[in-house]
Structure 1
Amino acid sequence: MKQNDQNFLWRRIAKKKNTGNQEAPIAPKARKGWRRRLGEADYLEMLVEYNTEAMALLVKTAAGWVYCYNNWEHEKMTGFGQKAIRQQSLKTVLGEAYFKVYEKNADDCLKSGETILFKGTASWNGEVRERLCRMTPVAAADQDFIVVTELNTKVLKDWMRKNHLATTRFDQMFQTHTASMLLIEPASGRIVEANPAALAFYGYDLEELKAMTIDQINTLSPAAVAERRQQAVAGQQRYFLFPHRLKNGEIRMVDVHSSPLELDGQPYLFSVIIDATEREQNAAALYREKELHKTTMDAIHDGVITTDAAGNISYLNPAAEQACGWQSIEVQGQPFETIFPICHEYTREPLTGLLAGVLADGQSQEISEPILLSKKDGMTIPIETSLAPIRTKNGSIGGVVMVFRDITLSREKKRRIEYLSYHDELTGLYNRRFYEQLFSQKETILAHPMAFVMGDVNGLKLTNDVFGHTIGDLLLKEIAKTLKVASGARHRVIRWGGDEFMIVMPGSDLKDAERLVKRIKEQLKAVCINGTIEASVSFGMALKKSRDDEPGPVLKKAEEMMYQIKLLESKSMRGTTINALLAALDEKKAETKAHTLRLSDHVMKLAEQLSLNVEAKNRLILLTMLHDIGKVGIPDYILGKPGRLTEEEWQIMQTHSEIGYRIASNVPELHVVTEEILHHHEKWDGSGYPSGLSGEKIPLNSRILAVVDAYDVMTHDQVYQPARSHEEAIAELRAQAGSQFDPRLVEPFINQVSHWR
């Protein structure tokens, strides 16, 4: 050891006077700064110097362990002062016969780096003394030290004699107490001691328990048990609830009260164990019951509000929170009638004392009157409600439960159902049930004579087939609105069937009915759907002269007249319908008039080459005009798309031939070309649509139109492609002959158009 290191212990220490008095200690506020100035070794020196126990510092040299410093208490005990003890060996200070024990423990302490406690004997001042020694390793900047603390065993023995009575009493209590008690080693969890109550509880004898650790009894993981054991040792937690396994395998829940305890200088955990299984089972059952009750309350759709015996709110279930706008936590403890005032729905008079009545007489109440419950925002809701007392275990009334239901939606649904029972959902007019009800119960209040007007919409099926049911429904609603406005509040307008309406005119004769029909027809002229569909209705009428006349025959007479008029109007209507369809097609710009004229010219010249008869030529001209009539049902964005169609768009486009077929089927004059319209996109090899026909199974006129239409489309600009030259179009026709086109038609047509050029 260097001389500088040997002198560190006395360089800055307060000097002792001959009397042994020490210099006044440094003030607490100055000590921290002093430690920084003195350094780590000086700080260790202070800890030793001012300790009330006998302490010394050892350091190991090449010659063995030597003393380098001791405090005043150690000097008084050994007779070696601070200067005298420096560089003195253990043998010199302790004596020949006693230094080996110190030397061995000093080596063990340095090697393990842990504090060692042992009993030592030394010869000091001619007297052999037995001491309890504690050695603690301390690492300094340049040297490791051993701090030796000497404790007088005589003092300990005196203390033990004084506390013998207390120890005996503790032992008696330990052995006789009815609570289970265990003494546990903190580090390992080994069971050191168990009282008879613990043996009886766990079912083991003492030797079996002492051979076990607490981990073998506690069913938690060893890591969890060790963590809680350390919490008890550190005094961080004293109470635990553990599942313990008995010898017979039964699991019991136990309360464990643990405290650290030191016996013979060794730390232990003293644990008192109380069986809490029944309590925990009861608590679990109560918790399940509460959870079941809460789950039930939370799940039901009715609002639930509970109060205590004073009428203060204690709970709102989620349905009540949603209905009233309050959160349960906001109103707990508040008077019910302050938060939820109730009044009569019609008179708005407050209904007070409802809860007080239930609390007073303990009788449930069903509130049958229409009442309103106030919400958080000041609004009110109509409710149906009942109140019942909440009884405690001893039968007394502990509060009130109010169960209520917001009937706003149910009322609205009821009104809606009643409305739909007598009204048509699409048009809002009265329905057939209303008519039956009218003439079964209310006819006595209706004035006579009574005119019946029956109307039938013309062309509705064709409109639905061509433009879809959405447009057809719109047409019906516009007609219904016109009928209702023209009829006024005095007459009942009824939707009788899909496209039929009836008007019941109390106190009106046939002249009144004629004037109404004339007024309706005039107003219908202003109705035009989708820019092309005009509203047209055929009417018939009949008169019910008195209450004695049955309504059935009168209604039948009106229907017969309506059908007669419909037959007279149908021919002109069909022409109007065809013109409307062609106008719609022109509006969509799906086909131009110039294109139609070119096709007509081409097909007629080809028909001459093929020697077709007059009937076939007429059908061919009609087909040329109407072959793409189905495009009125194709969305504009597809017809006008400049680029390539998507797969979905192409599927929609292909439906135009079927739409055209349905249109033609509804017009008798067009029946001759229905099949040819349907198949004008079939291909010679069977790869066309919609039916995949091939060869001569495809109608001849459809095959002729396919060649001519393809040439004209290729040689004129389209939204999706520019025009090709005549030569390019001819080459394409020849390339597709035998696959897309009838090969017997391609060359005659090519010769024809080439000659014209």
Structure 2
Amino acid sequence: MDKIIEQLNMKPVEILIPDYIIEQWQQLLEMMLSSNFSDIVLLNKLKSADYKYLGRAFQDQQEIAIDELTIITQQFSDCLEQEDQRIKKKIAEKVYINSDLAADDIFYLGLPVRWPQGKIFAVLSFYSRDCSLWKTSNLNQIEFAINLIESNLKLIYQNNFNSNLNDYYSKLIDILPVGVLIENEQGIILKANEELEQITGFTKSELIGSSIFETLVPENNSANARQDIKKILADNILSQRIFSQDKFSTEKYLYLQEQKINLPDNSIGIVSIQTDITDKVMIEKQVVDLLNKQKILLDSIDIQIWFADDINHYGIVNEARAEFLGLAKEEIRGKKITEVMQEDKSIQSCLASNRFVFETKQKYHVEEKIKNHTGDLRTLAVTKTPILNEDNKVDAIVCTAVDITEQRRQEAKIKYASYHDSLTELYNRSFMEKEINDFDCKDNLPISVIMIDLNGLKLVNDTYGHLAGDNLLQKMAAILKNSCRNSDIVVRWGGDEFVILLPKTKQKNLEEVISRINTKLADNYLLEAGSKIPLSAAIGSAIKSEVYQNIFDILDQAEEIMYKNKLTESKSVKSNIVNSLLRTLSEKSQETGQHSTRMAKLAIKIAKKMQLSTIEINKLILIAKLHDIGKTVIPESILNKKTELTEEEWRIIRNHPAVGHRILNATEEFSHISGEVLSHHEFWDGSGYPRGLKGEEIPLLARIIAIVDAYDVMTNKQSYKAPLSKSAALAEIESCSGSQFDPELVELFIKIMKNVVKIK
């Protein structure tokens, strides 16, 4: 801009006076001399020794030295500029008589001649030996002369100014940062500036005198251009953006401002102001493209975004917010919050947060539950940020809401899982260890603690599998929860152990809770594979009555009592479970008590013949009683099937020795015979099951049981066949000697059975 201003400033230049004017002034001076008004008349430029306007009559006045006159005139000029107080008299505001400036006997009269703008151009000086010549009438003549000269100056000045002004405007147009084109009504270019050269690629010489239709207007746009000329000549001012190409076919975007003007020759023309906006248009396109991408982005993301123009009204919203509200985006913008949101609680919360941001100018964040348009309660993380203007006032609020419903649900699940046992839904040990210090407070005294150990879990797991054991644990958990109050904390401590913390519970109330647990245990059974397994548990309890008592010491006391009770009750509990299993087996198959009794009698005969110890004989009696306890897990449909078993059904049948082994191993009372029960279906030749033992690898008592079991089954009625006679059964056993049965035991058994009439 400084460069432009520098070029626009007009430098003062000397205005030349035409020769014909100088000649007129010479004639004026001679006329004044001829009127005997003065001895000498001079018209000289201010502060100049150049007497261009010296009257020709001056040549007759040689007795006055020119240097003296110069000094006098110069002094007068200085007085004019300084407004010296020695100027004594003023006549007609232009004529000054100054006797102080007289030299010798010469009197001086000086009058300033001025340019139209008031500056002094020259001094009209009169020199005379007799000042009485300067009468009023003569002074009027002098004033006329000055007016005439100043009129000439005014005309000269105006002509010079007009010429300079034309040059000035021409220069101004050339340095303007926009293209300027002046054309006539026919579109002939009369004027073009330098910037237009840059825009169009044409030089001034190529443009001026040519038609715009030959140079600037593409052929395919000439019709539109002619219509535009008509509109402009009809006094319309056109402003438009056009697509164009320069001389070198470079594509450009121009902004045109065009209107009608009067040309110097009084004809009509058009001025066209052209701005190259190619870069701006490209930027605009990039911005529009970016905005479109941002709009697509904002509308494609799941985050809800909207503006609040004030506390009560919605601004623009994205697709996610509109979808949440169940409205189109256009239906929301400008609407009141009360017109868009339905739930009063949500409306008040939204208005309150808007008010907070507008008034405090601070960001606001809240997590709140809001119903969407379908009525589904969603958890939203809402953030509201103020948009501040230059005056530090809030213009609007940009709001975002992230639906974190699923995130919070997952977090709740994780938290629940971290503090709950997944199988029983009870609190777990981690929860209790975390919360027990808060629970252990004076307000909760007395605090009662119950420790429970579920009986028979291992036996059920080994008999029916861990799924049955899980069912047993779930039944136990349900009994404990139903026996307690809402304020009590029931915890699965680990494995088959449970803990109950009971706040504000005295001894009497504690005993009532334990009584309810025992009653419910007695009334419930685990029904598994047709078996009815009784529930029982060892229970211990203790009470913290004083603040100083350590809650963990109370837990240890309850646990110690529980283990004492478990040791006392364990044997009878497991025996009850085994007996229950045997009853179940008897109820759903032909494995009756008579079968095991007959087997025991036959086994005792062999044992005595072999002179086995009493201990071995007692083991045989137990083995005979419990050898098929593993069949309790076999479905009744397989046990009593009258047709041939499938391969899968045989697989299930062959698994019962291993199940029986696990059951008996889980009880201290019967674990010592578990190995014989596991082996009672092994064959002497190694083709039996489940381990394929052979010969004396098979325990002796298991070999005895195998023979008596086979004999009793063959000689007694079965669901799938009639009984064999004694001789036929013995013959069958003898035929299997050395393959299925121990040959020595077969030989002994046949000898014994020859003397036995019938086993009952």
TM-score by length of 1: 0.51
- Following superposition, the deviation at residue 698 of structure 1 comes to 0.1
**Matches of 1:704 and 1:676, distance apart in 2:** 10
Q: Kindly indicate whether the alpha-carbon contact (under 8 Å) linking 1:373 and 1:383 is maintained by their aligned counterparts in 2.
A: no
Q: Helix, strand or coil: the match of 1:675?
A: helix
* Residues 581 and 369 of structure 1: CA distance in aligned 2, closer, same or farther (over 3 Å): closer
What amino acid does structure 2 have at the position aligned with 1:652? I
Q: Which residue of 1 aligns with 2:706?
A: 706
Matching of residues 513-532 of structure 1 within 5 Å: 513-530=510-527, 532=532
What amino acid does structure 1 have at the position aligned with 2:663? I
Q: Which residue of 1 aligns with 2:474?
A: 477
Q: Kindly indicate whether the alpha-carbon contact (under 8 Å) linking 1:510 and 1:541 is maintained by their aligned counterparts in 2.
A: no
Q: Which residue of 1 aligns with 2:432?
A: 435
Q: 1:372 aligns with which of 370, 373, 379?
A: 370
Q: Kindly indicate whether the alpha-carbon contact (under 8 Å) linking 1:703 and 1:742 is maintained by their aligned counterparts in 2.
A: yes
- Following superposition, the deviation at residue 303 of structure 1 comes to 5.3
What amino acid does structure 2 have at the position aligned with 1:458? N
Over the residues paired in the alignment, what is the CA RMSD in angstroms? 5.0
Q: Which residue of 2 aligns with 1:168?
A: none
Q: Which residue of 1 aligns with 2:582?
A: 582
* Residues 297 and 605 of structure 1: CA distance in aligned 2, closer, same or farther (over 3 Å): farther
Matching of residues 182-261 of structure 1 within 5 Å: none
Q: Helix, strand or coil: the match of 2:738?
A: coil
- Following superposition, the deviation at residue 367 of structure 1 comes to 5.8
Q: Which residue of 1 aligns with 2:491?
A: 494
Q: 1:461 aligns with which of 458, 461, 467?
A: 458
Q: Which residue of 1 aligns with 2:639?
A: 639
- Following superposition, the deviation at residue 602 of structure 1 comes to 2.8
**Matches of 2:289 and 2:685, distance apart in 1:** 79
Q: Which residue of 2 aligns with 1:652?
A: 652
Q: Kindly indicate whether the alpha-carbon contact (under 8 Å) linking 2:325 and 2:340 is maintained by their aligned counterparts in 1.
A: no
For 1:607-641, what per-residue CA distance to the aligned partner results, in whole angstroms no more than 9, with x for missing partners? 34444333222211111100111122334444344
Q: Helix, strand or coil: the match of 1:686?
A: coil
**Matches of 2:696 and 2:620, distance apart in 1:** 17
Q: Which residue of 2 aligns with 1:546?
A: 546
What amino acid does structure 2 have at the position aligned with 1:446? D
- Following superposition, the deviation at residue 386 of structure 1 comes to 6.0
Q: Helix, strand or coil: the match of 1:503?
A: strand
* Residues 557 and 293 of structure 1: CA distance in aligned 2, closer, same or farther (over 3 Å): same
- Following superposition, the deviation at residue 404 of structure 1 comes to 4.8
Q: Kindly indicate whether the alpha-carbon contact (under 8 Å) linking 2:589 and 2:636 is maintained by their aligned counterparts in 1.
A: no
Q: Kindly indicate whether the alpha-carbon contact (under 8 Å) linking 1:588 and 1:636 is maintained by their aligned counterparts in 2.
A: yes
Q: Kindly indicate whether the alpha-carbon contact (under 8 Å) linking 2:571 and 2:668 is maintained by their aligned counterparts in 1.
A: no
**Matches of 1:522 and 1:485, distance apart in 2:** 12
Q: Helix, strand or coil: the match of 1:532?
A: strand
Q: Kindly indicate whether the alpha-carbon contact (under 8 Å) linking 2:622 and 2:673 is maintained by their aligned counterparts in 1.
A: yes
State the identity %: 37
Matching of residues 277-292 of structure 1 within 5 Å: none
Q: Which residue of 2 aligns with 1:594?
A: 594
Range moving further from structure 2, 286-295 or 512-521: 286-295
For 1:669-709, what per-residue CA distance to the aligned partner results, in whole angstroms no more than 9, with x for missing partners? 22331110111111111122222111011011111222222
* Residues 333 and 486 of structure 1: CA distance in aligned 2, closer, same or farther (over 3 Å): closer
**Matches of 1:451 and 1:353, distance apart in 2:** 48
Q: Kindly indicate whether the alpha-carbon contact (under 8 Å) linking 2:332 and 2:340 is maintained by their aligned counterparts in 1.
A: no
What amino acid does structure 1 have at the position aligned with 2:408? R
**Matches of 1:682 and 1:538, distance apart in 2:** 39
Q: Kindly indicate whether the alpha-carbon contact (under 8 Å) linking 1:342 and 1:373 is maintained by their aligned counterparts in 2.
A: no
**Matches of 2:694 and 2:400, distance apart in 1:** 75
- Following superposition, the deviation at residue 453 of structure 1 comes to 2.6
**Matches of 2:379 and 2:432, distance apart in 1:** 34
Q: Which residue of 2 aligns with 1:152?
A: none
**Matches of 1:297 and 1:588, distance apart in 2:** 68
* Residues 573 and 291 of structure 1: CA distance in aligned 2, closer, same or farther (over 3 Å): same
Q: Kindly indicate whether the alpha-carbon contact (under 8 Å) linking 1:344 and 1:371 is maintained by their aligned counterparts in 2.
A: no
Q: Would you say 1:561 and 2:564 are equivalent positions?
A: no
Q: Kindly indicate whether the alpha-carbon contact (under 8 Å) linking 1:453 and 1:504 is maintained by their aligned counterparts in 2.
A: yes
Q: Which residue of 2 aligns with 1:723?
A: 722
Unaligned runs of 5+ in 1: 1-176, 180-282, 390-398
Matching of residues 77-226 of structure 1 within 5 Å: none
What amino acid does structure 1 have at the position aligned with 2:370? L
Q: 1:415 aligns with which of 389, 399, 412?
A: 412
**Matches of 2:325 and 2:745, distance apart in 1:** 80
Unaligned runs of 5+ in 2: 1-217, 221-284, 387-395
Number of residue-to-residue matches in the alignment: 469
* Residues 400 and 442 of structure 1: CA distance in aligned 2, closer, same or farther (over 3 Å): closer
Q: Kindly indicate whether the alpha-carbon contact (under 8 Å) linking 2:448 and 2:541 is maintained by their aligned counterparts in 1.
A: yes
Q: Helix, strand or coil: the match of 2:500?
A: strand
Q: Which residue of 2 aligns with 1:613?
A: 613
Q: Kindly indicate whether the alpha-carbon contact (under 8 Å) linking 2:304 and 2:402 is maintained by their aligned counterparts in 1.
A: no
**Matches of 1:553 and 1:296, distance apart in 2:** 61
For 1:82-123, what per-residue CA distance to the aligned partner results, in whole angstroms no more than 9, with x for missing partners? xxxxxxxxxxxxxxxxxxxxxxxxxxxxxxxxxxxxxxxxxx
**Matches of 2:733 and 2:379, distance apart in 1:** 78
- Following superposition, the deviation at residue 716 of structure 1 comes to 4.3
**Matches of 2:453 and 2:415, distance apart in 1:** 27
Q: Which residue of 1 aligns with 2:733?
A: 733
Q: Would you say 1:448 and 2:445 are equivalent positions?
A: yes
Range moving further from structure 2, 635-644 or 698-707: 635-644
Q: Which residue of 2 aligns with 1:162?
A: none
**Matches of 1:637 and 1:178, distance apart in 2:** 100
TM-score by length of 2: 0.51
Q: Which residue of 2 aligns with 1:534?
A: 534
For 1:111-141, what per-residue CA distance to the aligned partner results, in whole angstroms no more than 9, with x for missing partners? xxxxxxxxxxxxxxxxxxxxxxxxxxxxxxx
Q: Which residue of 1 aligns with 2:629?
A: 629
Q: Which residue of 1 aligns with 2:504?
A: 507
Q: Kindly indicate whether the alpha-carbon contact (under 8 Å) linking 2:685 and 2:739 is maintained by their aligned counterparts in 1.
A: yes
- Following superposition, the deviation at residue 513 of structure 1 comes to 3.1
**Matches of 2:316 and 2:715, distance apart in 1:** 86
Q: Which residue of 1 aligns with 2:380?
A: 383
What amino acid does structure 1 have at the position aligned with 2:424? T
**Matches of 1:474 and 1:516, distance apart in 2:** 23
- Following superposition, the deviation at residue 740 of structure 1 comes to 1.9
